[in-house]
Structure 1
Amino acid sequence: MLVKALIRAAEAQGGVGAILCKGDPLAGALAVILAERGVKCRFLERSLGPDGAYRWADPGGDAERDEAGFAALVARRQRADPDLWVVELDIASAERFADEMTAFG
């Protein structure tokens, strides 16, 4: 349901979304790749914070990423969690959308 909500939110702002990896519907973690005009710019994972609330975080910090870098990051995350969902959202102003994703905690 969260995956569909993220895709609908991107589409409502003129973007597109696609499920790259389909994980377990009940137990799978969620990662989002944000892109602008086909250029990937952010990788965010949904994780449970110490206060019990979900948050979005970039597990790789400020590392510069190209297409191969994103693919390697997804592969590493899938080895750690084979139930991982990965969604790509291509939207204008991806940074602003990332800030708004807290509503989808």
Structure 2
Amino acid sequence: MREPRVKAEFWVQMALRRGTAAGRPGVLVRRGDPDAGGVLLVLRAGTGLSVLSQIRAADGTSAWLRATGPDGVTEAAADAYIARQISADPDLWVVEFEAPDLLPPFEAKII
């Protein structure tokens, strides 16, 4: 069963507040479509960066895909991935968090 969709701008604001509350500050890197834009999360750790892409799991629930792989990548590699995604979908939001364990500051299903 599909979950109801929340407007992208509202979701991003919620994620940034949760990050602050969890001691994992975040910053809005790029504003996308306020209603229906997708979201990319950039997780920054000492070992590199990881980019998570918002997807729907097979059961229709929200999930995140480790788009740059299971390990941290360089900033250049993360930036190149983000640029490719934005060229394909200019409505994307990009949010970056400090994440020493390369996990988002909120409960998330990661695939």
Is the structural similarity TM-score above 0.5?
yes
* Alpha-carbon distance in structure 1 between the residues aligned to 2:48 and 2:34: 25
1:64-93 deviation digits (Å, cap 9, x = unpaired): 521110110100110111100000011444
Identify if the C-alpha distance between structure 1 residues 22 and 8 changes in structure 2 by more than 3 Å, giving closer, same or farther: same
* Alpha-carbon distance in structure 2 between the residues aligned to 1:41 and 1:67: 6
Partner residue in 2 for 1:47 = 55
* Alpha-carbon distance in structure 2 between the residues aligned to 1:28 and 1:62: 25
Structure 1 segment 63-102 matched on structure 2, within 5 A: 65-95=73-103, 97=104, 100-102=106-108
Identify if the C-alpha distance between structure 1 residues 28 and 70 changes in structure 2 by more than 3 Å, giving closer, same or farther: same
Partner residue in 2 for 1:28 = 37
- Any gaps of 5 or more consecutive residues in structure 2? 1-9
Greater RCO (CA < 8 Å, at least 6 residues apart): 1
Partner residue in 2 for 1:12 = 21
Higher helix share: 1
The two structures, once aligned, show a CA RMSD in angstroms of 2.2
TM-score (normalised: structure 1) = 0.80
- Any gaps of 5 or more consecutive residues in structure 1? none
* Alpha-carbon distance in structure 1 between the residues aligned to 2:41 and 2:76: 16
Contact between 2:31 and 2:93, CA under 8 Å: does it hold in 1? Answer: yes
